Amino acid sequence: MGFLTNNSNEDKVIFESIQMICGIYLIPIICIPGLISNILCIIVFVTNSMQRFLTTQFLLYLAVSDTIKLSNDLLYSIVLIIQIFNQQFGKKLFLILYRYCHYINTVSTLSTAWLTLIVAIERYILCSTNSHTRLTIQKNSRTICNLIIILSLVISLPVSFRYEIIPLSANETLNNSSSSIRLSKFGSSRFFRLYSIIVDLIRAIFPSLLLLYLNTRIVYLLCRMKSSAGTAFYRLTMSLIIIIGCFICCYFPDALLSLILNMGYIDETYNKRAIRELTDFFVTLNSATNFAIYFSISYTFRRAMLRLLERPTKLSYPTTYEDLIQRQRLQHQHYPLCNNPRNFV
């Protein structure tokens, strides 16, 4: 019994160390630049220079989804920092926000997974089929993105009912209570277990397997058409291939743990919670890397970004008849020989 207690205490220390490193130090370092870069991506994707690409609409929605994910994770870090200075208020804030943040996290990861899959499908079609199919995709791109967001919001609704807050007695505080949040009856039912399996499959398992196949096909087709493909198309496709690879590496372990080991977070042992801290960190990292990939590989994105940041050197005013007369007078003063056609002989 004493061995189990010591082991539990050691696991708790390891978990708290990993939670402090990931939640208090690494996540803010990643989330703050990631939020800024994703907002810049959104601004760039709505500019005229990027609207001519078919993929822009999907990447715009993907940047919005990543922004929501990073904001949600940054809020988690803020709550952890508050707990360091005021443990009682931090735990109370954690109880209030946990179920909502859990729902937002599920929505953002689900929409990110399927938006990434749609990007891969669209790029595969662009590399392999005719212009008629490309035009159909371009016309329906916004409808597809809106449908993915709506379905993610609806499918993730049961997640918000997984946990319930334990009511505390009058002489019991958050500091001395062993657990102030637990699985609800619905969260511990077989129906929710079946639901969580389906969500894990459609959130990352199926998308990751499909993305692995599509990524391989895109690389093969891109190598075949490298001589005929334009430079902008080739560079943008290469950046998307890297983004798809990052998604597979970051999302697949997290979904696999949830599916096979049935790992949640708040209701698990300290060992499993420590593992989930690491896998959740990689999911957060995936949402913050897209800007760096776009900027380093895609010349079109980099040029649009630099145009957005550069300061205009010359102000343009409306040209009136008086401006034209004044301009002609200045030309006569500086170039008097050009006024007489005989001077050219």
Matching residue, tokens 């599509």: 214
Decide: 69 and 105 in contact? Cβ < 8 Å: yes
Matching residue, tokens 């499918």: 155
Query: 249: Cβ–Cβ under 8 A, 6 or more apart, which residues?
Result: 282
Buried (b) or exposed (e) across 297-310, using 16+ Cβ within 10 A?
bbebbeebbeeeee
For residue 318, is it within any domain?
no
Beta strands 181-183 and 163-165, pairing class: antiparallel
Instruction: Look at residues 264, 260, 261 and name the one whose alpha carbon lies nearest to residue 280.
Output: 264
For residue 338, is it within any domain?
no
Matching residue, tokens 């697949």: 252
| pLDDT score, position 323 | 55
For residue 153, is it within any domain?
yes
For residue 326, is it within any domain?
no
DSSP string for 140-186: HHHHHHHHHHHHHHHHTGGGGGSEEEPPPPTT--TTT-S-SEEE-TT
For residue 216, is it within any domain?
yes
Structure tokens at 325: 């007369």
Q: What is the DSSP letter of 26?
A: I
What type of residue is 128? S
For residue 303, is it within any domain?
yes
Host domain of residue 298:
11-167+176-312
Give the C-alpha separation, 94 to 81, whole Å: 11
Mean pLDDT by 10 residues, the chain (345 residues): 52 85 91 94 80 78 94 92 88 84 91 91 78 70 90 92 69 49 81 87 88 87 67 76 88 78 65 84 91 85 81 51 59 53 39
Give the C-alpha separation, 185 to 31, whole Å: 34
Give the C-alpha separation, 283 to 279, whole Å: 7
Number of structural domains in the chain? 1
Structure tokens at 256: 């696999």
- Domain CATH number, residue 98: 1.20.1070.10
| pLDDT score, position 343 | 41
What type of residue is 185? K
For residue 330, is it within any domain?
no
Give the C-alpha separation, 327 to 313, whole Å: 20
Query: 56: Cβ–Cβ under 8 A, 6 or more apart, which residues?
Result: 45, 50
Residue 194 C-beta-side C-alpha neighbours within 13 Å: 3
For residue 322, is it within any domain?
no
DSSP string for 199-228: HHIIIIIHHHHHHHHHHHHHHHHHHHTTTT
Give the C-alpha separation, 102 to 117, whole Å: 23
